[in-house]
Amino acid sequence: MKADLLDGQGRRLDYLRISLTCACNLRCTYCMPMGWQPSQGEESPMTCEEILALARVFHELGIRKIRLTGGEPLLRGDLLPIVRGLKDLGIEELALTTNGLLLKDLAQPLKDAGLDRVNVSLDTLDPVKYLSITRGGALSKVLEGLEAAKRSGLTPLKINTVLLGGFNEIEVDALMELTHHEALSVRFIELMPMGEALHGIFRFYSAQTILNEHPELQPLPQERGGVASLYRLPGYKGTIGFIDPISCSFCDTCSRLRLSATGKLRLCLHHETGVDLRLALRQGRDLKPLILEAVKHKPKRHQLEEASHSGATMNEIGG
């Protein structure tokens, strides 16, 4: 039986999101500035060995689920050894969030290396709008990536759509339709007012608006540790999720920790990074007491306002 990692509020933390890089092959307008560069003097991302060494400690403390994110995690040349190494540690659920551009060729190798499933971010089904919101991405590549993920068994497949008022609200029905004949989940995420989204042109468009417009959506039980409220359209195979981060509705049961690409522990998406675990690893310090002390200070609830002032963009935080 594994130990339980508890924070100061008594919440059990069993889910770690690891950012593999801040770099990305897209520049989604609400996420990343066009000319984004790593800050001057920025440290290089953790090596595969550092990631595995830190993940081992977290696993021994009680982490059972890991999600790899970024930036764009598929850009890591050593992604397959990272996935293999994490699975070999005994991580029960190993997932990855990607923009899907490089997924076509990587889906099967990732599955073979031990990845369980993927979430693919997709904000529009219109190739011209996709090109514009991502500043240059090809929708066809993402669709090929989705097909490859299904073929390779990286399932249940989830599609993440950020709700962008003035951009994709007219596509909500078409996106929900993707769940008609396939057992996938389309999850609508409210835009968080942080990083690039603060300067953007998009109106806030709430999950509640969609729920009001679709009374036929049938509520389903929530997944354990999940952040989405789940629904199904009558007779549809897949599910529809709504993630409303602003309302703090999932802070009370938050089970997450985050590790930045340079090895800093982040206790909440909306707070500054904390203890530098890679530095501690390099110094040969005992990491367990450091982590146990740090998690005591995980905030009870997020304060989106603070994150707004931290200047961090979402590609740096890891979504």
Cα(18)–Cα(317) distance, rounded to whole angstroms? 10
Residue 296 C-beta: closest distance to ligand SAM, Å: 28
- Structure tokens that stand for 296 in this block: 């005591």
**Residue 32 or 287 having the CB closest to ligand SF4:** 32
**Residue 200 or 299 having the CB closest to ligand SAM:** 200
- Choose from ligand SF4, ligand SAM, none: what does 55 bind? Cβ within 5-8 Å by kind: none
- Structure tokens that stand for 66 in this block: 């890991």
What H or E segment, with its residue span, contains residue 55? helix 48-61
Residue 306 C-beta: closest distance to ligand SF4, Å: 21
- Choose from ligand SF4, ligand SAM, none: what does 217 bind? Cβ within 5-8 Å by kind: none
Give the orientation angle of helix 79-89 with respect to helix 48-61, to 10 degrees.
Answer: 20
Enumerate the β-bridge partners of residue 6.
12
Phi-psi region of 153 (alpha: psi -120 to 50; beta: other; left: phi over 0): left
List the interface residues with ligand SF4, window 17-76 (CB under 6 A).
24, 26-28, 31-32, 70-72
- Choose from ligand SF4, ligand SAM, none: what does 160 bind? Cβ within 5-8 Å by kind: ligand SAM
Which of these segments, 58-66, 92-100, 148-156, 254-262, binds ligand SAM (CB under 6 A)? 92-100
Contacts of 20 (CB under 8 A, 6+ apart): 45, 51, 68, 69, 70, 71, 73, 76, 79, 82, 261
Nearest residue to 202 via CA among 192, 213, 188, 212: 192
Give the orientation angle of helix 287-295 with respect to helix 48-61, to 10 degrees.
Answer: 60
Enumerate the β-bridge partners of residue 160.
121, 187
List the interface residues with ligand SAM, window 189-218 (CB under 6 A).
189, 191-192, 194, 197
- Structure tokens that stand for 275 in this block: 């203890």
**Residue 161 or 239 having the CB closest to ligand SF4:** 161
Asked if residue 70 binds ligand SAM (CB under 6 A), the reply is yes
- Structure tokens that stand for 42 in this block: 């920025």
Which of these segments, 23-31, 47-55, 180-188, 223-231, binds ligand SAM (CB under 6 A)? 23-31
Sites of contact with ligand SAM (CB under 6 A): 24, 30-31, 69-70, 72, 97-99, 121, 160, 162, 189, 191-192, 194, 197, 314-315, 319
Sites of contact with ligand SF4 (CB under 6 A): 24, 26-28, 31-32, 70-72, 99, 121, 314-315
